[in-house]
Amino acid sequence: MEGMTFIVKTITKLLIGAIFLFAIYITFYGHLTPGGGFAGGIMLACGFILLTLAFGKKMSLGKLSDFWASLIDNLGAITFWSIGMLGYLSGYFFMNFIEKSNPFGLFSSGTILISNIAICLKVGSSIFAVFLALTIFGRFISDLIASEDED
């Protein structure tokens, strides 16, 4: 059986939705309450790492492979940079060009919400990618031995 015991798998099934939901809440309400894109992104990565530890590599790589993780990482970085460049449309670099409404609403602060989402995607996928790279590195020695055995 791949992964951990039956108890861990059951608890993970119950908790994983709440973890992802809380990560998305922290990200989307970053400009209203404490939190933000960085903390939300690391919570997303935490959820994926929990999936990896509980159900094994195969299951979590099916949800988010290392190729898609690095792709989402790049997309988040490009989105954040282009928000800065779009500021030139109405003035200067990183100008808050979207109309601001009354405070304490979800869409009250213009580009800050979009920047938070971009940073969340970037940080979450990249931290998960580092975890994957470390586990791939663990496999490296045994892979080398296996390839030598074939020769």
Partner 1 sequence: MLILFYALLIFCIVGSIIAIEIRNILASVIAAGAVGMALSILFLFLGAPDIAITQVVVEIIVLIVLIRSTVSLDNTSPTKHRDTFAILSSLIFFGLFLVFAFMAFQGLPKFGEPLMKVASNYLRDSVTQTGASNVVMGIILDYRAYDTLGEATVIFTAILGSFVVLRAKGKKRKEESDRVKVGIPDKEDLPKTLIEVEE
* Interatomic CA distance for residues 41 and 138, integer angstroms: 25
Our finding on whether 1 is near partner 1 (CB under 8 A) is no
Our finding on whether 111 is near partner 1 (CB under 8 A) is yes
Our finding on whether 5 is near partner 1 (CB under 8 A) is no
* Interatomic CA distance for residues 49 and 35, integer angstroms: 21
Q: Tell me, what amino acid is at 29?
A: Y
Nearer to partner 1, 6 or 137 (CB): 137
Q: Contact with partner 1 (CB under 8 A): which of 3, 109, 117, 120?
A: 109
Our finding on whether 6 is near partner 1 (CB under 8 A) is no
* Interatomic CA distance for residues 27 and 119, integer angstroms: 9
Whose tokens are 């031995």? That residue is: 145
Q: Contact with partner 1 (CB under 8 A): which of 12, 36, 47, 54?
A: 36
Our finding on whether 26 is near partner 1 (CB under 8 A) is yes
Show the binding pattern over residues 51-70: x = contacts partner 1 (CB under 8 A), - = does not. --x----------------x
Secondary structure of residue 121 in the 3-state scheme? helix
- Residue 113 contacts residue 106 (beta carbons within 8 Å): yes
Cβ at position 9, least distance to partner 1 in Å? 17
* Interatomic CA distance for residues 72 and 90, integer angstroms: 28
Q: Which residues bind partner 1 (CB under 8 A)?
A: 26, 30-36, 38-39, 42-43, 45-46, 49, 53, 70, 73, 77, 80-81, 84, 93-94, 96, 100-101, 103-104, 108-112, 115-116, 119, 122-123, 126-127, 129-131, 133-145, 147-148
